[in-house]
C-alpha cells in the first residue's frame, strides 16, 4: 500500500512539474564553449517547459566543482547539470579523489550537442599549417606550450592527444576557463590552444587568431578553407559533446517530462538555427543512448590517460 501511494504521489508531482524556475548548473566559467551552448539550450528549453531556466555558472577543477554540486542537489528536477566530457568522462579517470561517479550518481536525460574543436595559434607564430607547427615544436623540444581551460577538460585532452600523435614535447598551461585561455593565447602567453569552434570563431574572423585545423569528420562550413585534423596528417578526432543530467533518485515521471520537453526544444527551428550558426550540431538522444555514450567515453579516456601518462597537475 505504501508503495502504491508513493507512485501516485510521484505521478501527481510530475503532473504539476515544473511549477517554479529550474536551475541548470554549467560547471565552467562564463565565456567559454560550455557557457555559449548552455545558454542557447536553456533559452529554447524554457519555452517548451514553460518555466524560466536559470543558468548557474559554477567553474573550477575542470568542471568537478559544479558537477559535484549538481550530484548533491535534491533529486526533485529543479536543479540539473549541463554536463560535458571533462567532468563526466575525463576528470574521474584523472583524479582519484573525484567525489562522484558519473555513471552511478547521475540520471542522463539527453545529449544535446556535439561541437568540433579547432587548433589555434597566434598570427605572429611562424606556422601556417599543422605540419609547420609540428616541425617548429620539434625544433625546440620543451620550449613551446599550449593553453587550456583547466586540467582535465576536453580541450586540454585534445592538446595531450596532439602531443602524442605528433610526437612533440610541448608544455601544458592550464587557465581558469577557456575564455581565460583564449585571452592568454591572444596575449602571446601561450603558443597554441584547442578550443570550441563557436568560441573561437569571432577571434579567427577578426584576425586575432589563426586556425590551423578543425576536429570532426569533415570541414566546417564556417571555415571551409581550414583542413581537418585528419587531412593535416594526424589520426585523431577532437570534438566536445554536451548533455543534460539530473541527480540520481529523480523520479521517473519527472525525468520523462524533462526529456520530452528537451527533445521538443531541440527539434525547433530556432534551436537548430541558433546552434548551426555556431557550427554546433544539435542532437537529442534517449536517456539510454546518453548513458551509453558516457560509459563508452569513460572507457576510452581511461586507456588514453594511461598511454599518455597524463597526471592531474
Residue 228 lies in a domain: no
User: What is the span of the domain harbouring residue 6?
Assistant: 2-114+240-308
The residue with cell 504521489 is 9
Residue 62 lies in a domain: yes
Same domain, 151 and 131: yes
The residue with cell 524560466 is 52
Q: Are strands 22-26 and 53-57 parallel, antiparallel or unpaired?
A: parallel
Provide the pLDDT for residue 3: 44
Same domain, 92 and 122: no
Residue 223 lies in a domain: no
- Choosing from 161, 196, 214, the residue where a domain stops is 214
Same domain, 123 and 136: yes
Same domain, 57 and 102: yes
Q: According to the 3-state scheme, what is the secondary structure of the chain?
A: CHHHHHHHHHHHHHHCCCCCCEEEEECCCCCCHHHHHHHHHHHHHHHHHCCCEEEEECCCHHHHHHHHHHHCCCCCCCEEEEEEHHHHHHHHHHCCCCCCCCCCCEEEEEEEEEEEEEEEECCCCCCCCHHHHHHHHHHCCCCCEEEECCCCCHHHHHHHHHHHHHCCCCEEEECCCHHHHHHHHHCCCCCEEEEEHHHHHHHHHCCCCEEEEECCCCCCCCCCCCCECCCCCCCCCCEEEEEEEEECCCCHHHHHHHHHHHHHHHCCHHHHHHHHCCCCEECCCCHHHHHHHHHHHHHHHHHHHHHHCCCCC
Same domain, 91 and 136: no
Count of the separate structural domains present in the chain: 2
Same domain, 182 and 134: yes
Residue 231 lies in a domain: no
Provide the pLDDT for residue 170: 95
- Choosing from 169, 198, 214, the residue where a domain stops is 214
Residue 18 lies in a domain: yes
What gap in Å lies between CA 251 and CA 238, rounded to an integer? 35
* Per-residue pLDDT tens digits for 92-101: 998 889 999 9
Same domain, 39 and 84: yes
Same domain, 92 and 151: no
Mean pLDDT per 10-residue segment, the chain (313 residues): 45 77 95 88 97 96 94 98 94 92 98 93 96 97 94 85 91 91 96 91 95 90 92 86 97 98 96 87 94 92 80 61
273: Cα within 13 Å, side-chain hemisphere: 3
Q: Are strands 106-121 and 239-247 parallel, antiparallel or unpaired?
A: antiparallel
Provide the pLDDT for residue 310: 77
- Choosing from 179, 214, 249, the residue where a domain stops is 214
Same domain, 64 and 123: no
Residue 220 lies in a domain: no
Q: In DSSP terms, which residues pair with 121 in a beta bridge?
A: 192, 210
Residue 261 lies in a domain: yes
Provide the pLDDT for residue 13: 54
Are 170 and 163 in contact by the 8 Å Cβ rule? The answer is yes
Same domain, 91 and 146: no
Q: What are phi and psi of 54, to 5 degrees?
A: -95, 120
Provide the pLDDT for residue 15: 73
Same domain, 110 and 123: no
Nearest CA to 13 out of 192, 250, 289, 176 is that of: 250
**Which CATH number does the domain housing residue 144 bear?**
3.40.190.10
Q: The pTM is what? A: 0.78
Same domain, 108 and 253: yes
Residue 107 lies in a domain: yes
**Which CATH number does the domain housing residue 91 bear?**
3.40.190.150
* Per-residue pLDDT tens digits for 108-139: 999 999 888 999 999 999 999 999 999 999 99
Amino acid at each position: 500500500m505504501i508503495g502504491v501511494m508513493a507512485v501516485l504521489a510521484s505521478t501527481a508531482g510530475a503532473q504539476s512539474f515544473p511549477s517554479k524556475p529550474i536551475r541548470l548548473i554549467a560547471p565552467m566559467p562564463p565565456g567559454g564553449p560550455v557557457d555559449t551552448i548552455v545558454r542557447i539550450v536553456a533559452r529554447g528549453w524554457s519555452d517548451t517547459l514553460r518555466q524560466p531556466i536559470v543558468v548557474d555558472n559554477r567553474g573550477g577543477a575542470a568542471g568537478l566543482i559544479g558537477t559535484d554540486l549538481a550530484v548533491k542537489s535534491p533529486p526533485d528536477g529543479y536543479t540539473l547539470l549541463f554536463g560535458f566530457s571533462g567532468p563526466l568522462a575525463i576528470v574521474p579517470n584523472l583524479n582519484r579523489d573525484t567525489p562522484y561517479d558519473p555513471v552511478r550518481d547521475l540520471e542522463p536525460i539527453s545529449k544535446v550537442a556535439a561541437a568540433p574543436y579547432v587548433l589555434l595559434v597566434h598570427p605572429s607564430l611562424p606556422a601556417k599549417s599543422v605540419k609547420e607547427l609540428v616541425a617548429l615544436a620539434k625544433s625546440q623540444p620543451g620550449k613551446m606550450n599550449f593553453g587550456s581551460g583547466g586540467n582535465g577538460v576536453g580541450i586540454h585532452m585534445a592538446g595531450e592527444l596532439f602531443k602524442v600523435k605528433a610526437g612533440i614535447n610541448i608544455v601544458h598551461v592550464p587557465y581558469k576557463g577557456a575564455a581565460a585561455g583564449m585571452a592568454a593565447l591572444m596575449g602571446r602567453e601561450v603558443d597554441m590552444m584547442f578550443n570550441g569552434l563557436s568560441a573561437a570563431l569571432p577571434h579567427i574572423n577578426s584576425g586575432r587568431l589563426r586556425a590551423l585545423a578543425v576536429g570532426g569528420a569533415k570541414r566546417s562550413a564556417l571555415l571551409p578553407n581550414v583542413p581537418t585534423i585528419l587531412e593535416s596528417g594526424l589520426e585523431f578526432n577532437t570534438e566536445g559533446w554536451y548533455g543534460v543530467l539530473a541527480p540520481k533518485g529523480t523520479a521517473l515521471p519527472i525525468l520523462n517530462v524533462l526529456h520530452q520537453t528537451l527533445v521538443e526544444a531541440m527539434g525547433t527551428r530556432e534551436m537548430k538555427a541558433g546552434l548551426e550558426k555556431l557550427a554546433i550540431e544539435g542532437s537529442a538522444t534517449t536517456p539510454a543512448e546518453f548513458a551509453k555514450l558516457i560509459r563508452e567515453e569513460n572507457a576510452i579516456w581511461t586507456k588514453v590517460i594511461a598511454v599518455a601518462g597524463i597526471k592531474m597537475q
